[in-house]
Protein backbone atom coordinates (compact mmCIF):
# COMPACT_ATOMS: atom_id res chain seq x y z
CA UNK A 1 0.00 0.00 0.00
CA UNK A 2 1.38 3.42 -0.94
CA UNK A 3 0.39 6.72 0.68
CA UNK A 4 0.63 9.53 -1.91
CA UNK A 5 0.73 13.03 -0.44
CA UNK A 6 2.11 16.38 -1.53
CA UNK A 7 5.56 17.06 -0.09
CA UNK A 8 4.24 19.67 2.34
CA UNK A 9 4.39 19.87 6.11
CA UNK A 10 1.02 19.23 7.72
CA UNK A 11 -0.17 20.95 10.87
CA UNK A 12 -3.95 20.61 10.80
CA UNK A 13 -6.20 17.89 12.23
CA UNK A 14 -5.66 14.53 10.47
CA UNK A 15 -8.40 12.42 8.90
CA UNK A 16 -7.99 9.05 7.16
CA UNK A 17 -10.25 6.91 4.99
CA UNK A 18 -7.83 4.13 4.04
CA UNK A 19 -9.58 1.21 2.37
CA UNK A 20 -12.71 3.20 1.53
CA UNK A 21 -12.39 3.05 -2.24
CA UNK A 22 -15.98 2.49 -3.39
CA UNK A 23 -16.91 6.16 -3.73
CA UNK A 24 -20.33 7.09 -5.09
CA UNK A 25 -20.33 10.84 -4.27
CA UNK A 26 -18.01 13.57 -3.04
CA UNK A 27 -19.38 16.71 -1.39
CA UNK A 28 -17.08 19.76 -1.59
CA UNK A 29 -17.86 23.12 -0.03
CA UNK A 30 -15.91 26.24 -0.92
CA UNK A 31 -15.86 30.00 -0.80
CA UNK A 32 -14.21 32.14 -3.43
CA UNK A 33 -10.99 31.89 -1.38
CA UNK A 34 -10.55 28.23 -0.44
CA UNK A 35 -12.04 24.77 -0.25
CA UNK A 36 -13.61 24.61 3.20
CA UNK A 37 -15.09 21.14 3.43
CA UNK A 38 -15.15 17.65 2.01
CA UNK A 39 -17.31 14.60 2.65
CA UNK A 40 -17.53 11.24 0.91
CA UNK A 41 -20.34 8.75 0.26
CA UNK A 42 -19.02 5.18 0.14
CA UNK A 43 -20.75 1.98 -0.87
CA UNK A 44 -20.71 -0.53 2.01
CA UNK A 45 -22.77 -3.72 1.94
CA UNK A 46 -24.65 -2.39 -1.09
CA UNK A 47 -25.69 0.86 0.66
CA UNK A 48 -24.38 4.43 0.46
CA UNK A 49 -22.77 5.44 3.77
CA UNK A 50 -21.62 9.00 4.48
CA UNK A 51 -18.22 9.66 6.01
CA UNK A 52 -17.82 12.29 8.68
CA UNK A 53 -18.18 15.81 7.31
CA UNK A 54 -14.89 17.68 7.41
CA UNK A 55 -16.11 21.30 7.52
CA UNK A 56 -19.39 22.51 5.96
CA UNK A 57 -21.00 20.66 3.03
CA UNK A 58 -21.88 22.38 -0.23
CA UNK A 59 -21.47 21.09 -3.81
CA UNK A 60 -21.49 17.47 -4.96
CA UNK A 61 -19.85 15.19 -7.54
CA UNK A 62 -21.77 12.00 -8.29
CA UNK A 63 -19.78 9.10 -9.74
CA UNK A 64 -21.10 6.33 -11.97
CA UNK A 65 -20.29 3.65 -9.39
CA UNK A 66 -19.06 0.90 -9.87
CA UNK A 67 -17.80 1.53 -13.42
CA UNK A 68 -16.22 4.96 -12.75
CA UNK A 69 -12.80 4.87 -11.05
CA UNK A 70 -10.51 7.67 -9.83
CA UNK A 71 -7.37 7.76 -11.99
CA UNK A 72 -5.63 11.05 -11.05
CA UNK A 73 -5.70 13.73 -8.34
CA UNK A 74 -4.55 17.29 -9.01
CA UNK A 75 -4.58 20.04 -6.36
CA UNK A 76 -3.37 23.56 -5.82
CA UNK A 77 -2.45 24.80 -2.34
CA UNK A 78 -1.76 28.28 -0.99
CA UNK A 79 0.55 28.82 1.97
CA UNK A 80 0.25 32.19 3.70
CA UNK A 81 2.86 34.33 5.43
CA UNK A 82 1.84 32.85 8.83
CA UNK A 83 2.37 29.24 7.67
CA UNK A 84 -1.29 28.27 7.28
CA UNK A 85 -1.98 26.29 4.12
CA UNK A 86 -5.32 25.81 2.38
CA UNK A 87 -6.50 23.72 -0.54
CA UNK A 88 -7.47 26.18 -3.30
CA UNK A 89 -8.51 23.77 -6.05
CA UNK A 90 -9.07 20.06 -6.56
CA UNK A 91 -9.43 18.14 -9.81
CA UNK A 92 -10.42 14.48 -9.81
CA UNK A 93 -9.86 12.59 -13.05
CA UNK A 94 -11.74 9.36 -13.61
CA UNK A 95 -11.79 6.82 -16.40
CA UNK A 96 -14.88 8.68 -17.73
CA UNK A 97 -14.37 12.43 -17.15
CA UNK A 98 -12.86 15.06 -14.85
CA UNK A 99 -14.45 16.94 -11.95
CA UNK A 100 -13.06 20.24 -10.70
CA UNK A 101 -13.61 22.82 -7.96
CA UNK A 102 -11.41 25.89 -8.29
CA UNK A 103 -11.46 28.88 -5.96
CA UNK A 104 -9.89 32.25 -6.69
CA UNK A 105 -7.52 31.95 -3.74
CA UNK A 106 -6.12 34.65 -1.53
CA UNK A 107 -6.83 35.55 2.05
CA UNK A 108 -10.01 37.55 2.73
CA UNK A 109 -8.37 39.08 5.81
CA UNK A 110 -5.52 40.52 3.71
CA UNK A 111 -7.32 41.55 0.52
CA UNK A 112 -8.21 45.03 1.80
CA UNK A 113 -5.39 45.48 4.29
CA UNK A 114 -3.17 48.43 3.19
CA UNK A 115 -0.30 47.16 5.37
CA UNK A 116 0.12 44.01 3.24
CA UNK A 117 -0.46 45.65 -0.16
CA UNK A 118 -0.08 43.10 -2.97
CA UNK A 119 -1.14 39.70 -1.65
CA UNK A 120 1.15 37.77 -4.03
CA UNK A 121 4.16 38.70 -1.89
CA UNK A 122 2.68 36.84 1.10
CA UNK A 123 1.33 33.69 -0.56
CA UNK A 124 3.22 30.68 -1.93
CA UNK A 125 1.37 28.43 -4.40
CA UNK A 126 2.15 24.69 -4.56
CA UNK A 127 0.68 22.26 -7.09
CA UNK A 128 0.23 18.51 -6.65
CA UNK A 129 -0.58 16.24 -9.60
CA UNK A 130 -0.37 12.47 -9.30
CA UNK A 131 -1.74 9.60 -11.34
CA UNK A 132 -3.15 6.58 -9.54
CA UNK A 133 -0.69 3.93 -10.76
CA UNK A 134 -2.71 1.01 -9.48
CA UNK A 135 -5.94 0.58 -7.55
CA UNK A 136 -7.31 3.63 -5.70
CA UNK A 137 -7.70 2.75 -2.02
CA UNK A 138 -9.07 5.81 -0.19
CA UNK A 139 -8.32 9.42 0.77
CA UNK A 140 -6.63 11.03 3.76
CA UNK A 141 -5.62 14.57 4.68
CA UNK A 142 -5.60 17.38 7.22
CA UNK A 143 -7.89 20.30 7.89
CA UNK A 144 -8.19 23.52 9.90
CA UNK A 145 -11.42 24.79 11.44
CA UNK A 146 -11.97 27.02 8.40
CA UNK A 147 -10.66 24.92 5.52
CA UNK A 148 -8.98 21.83 4.10
CA UNK A 149 -5.20 21.94 4.50
CA UNK A 150 -4.06 18.86 2.50
CA UNK A 151 -5.48 15.83 0.71
CA UNK A 152 -3.75 12.70 -0.53
CA UNK A 153 -4.72 9.17 -1.47
CA UNK A 154 -3.83 5.53 -0.93
CA UNK A 155 -3.20 3.18 -3.79
CA UNK A 156 -2.32 -0.46 -4.24
CA UNK A 157 0.40 -0.51 -6.90
CA UNK A 158 0.04 -2.74 -9.92
CA UNK A 159 1.90 -5.95 -9.31
CA UNK A 160 4.92 -6.47 -11.51
CA UNK A 161 5.69 -10.08 -12.29
CA UNK A 162 9.42 -10.76 -12.55
CA UNK A 163 10.13 -13.85 -14.56
CA UNK A 164 13.40 -15.56 -13.78
CA UNK A 165 15.15 -17.77 -16.33
CA UNK A 166 14.45 -20.95 -14.38
CA UNK A 167 10.70 -20.21 -14.26
CA UNK A 168 10.31 -19.95 -18.05
CA UNK A 169 9.13 -22.89 -20.07
CA UNK A 170 11.19 -23.72 -23.13
CA torsion, ordered 143, 85, 130, 141, to nearest 10 deg? -10
Question: Is residue 169 assigned to a domain?
Answer: no
Question: Is residue 106 assigned to a domain?
Answer: yes
User: For the whole model, what pTM was predicted?
Assistant: 0.77
**pLDDT of the residue at 105:** 63
CATH number of domain containing 50: 2.100.10.30
User: Which residues in the chain land under pLDDT 50?
Assistant: 110, 112-118, 166-170
Closest by Cα among 148, 153, 124, 128 to 6: 128
Q: What is the pLDDT of residues 91-134, one digit of tens each?
A: 999 999 999 888 766 555 545 444 444 455 677 888 889 999 88
Question: Is residue 162 assigned to a domain?
Answer: no
Tally of structural domains, the chain: 1
Amino acid sequence: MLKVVPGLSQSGTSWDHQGKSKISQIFIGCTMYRIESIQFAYIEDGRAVLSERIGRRDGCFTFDYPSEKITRLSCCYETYYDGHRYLRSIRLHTNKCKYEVCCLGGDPDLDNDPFFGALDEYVTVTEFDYEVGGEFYGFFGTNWDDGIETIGFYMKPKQVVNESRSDRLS
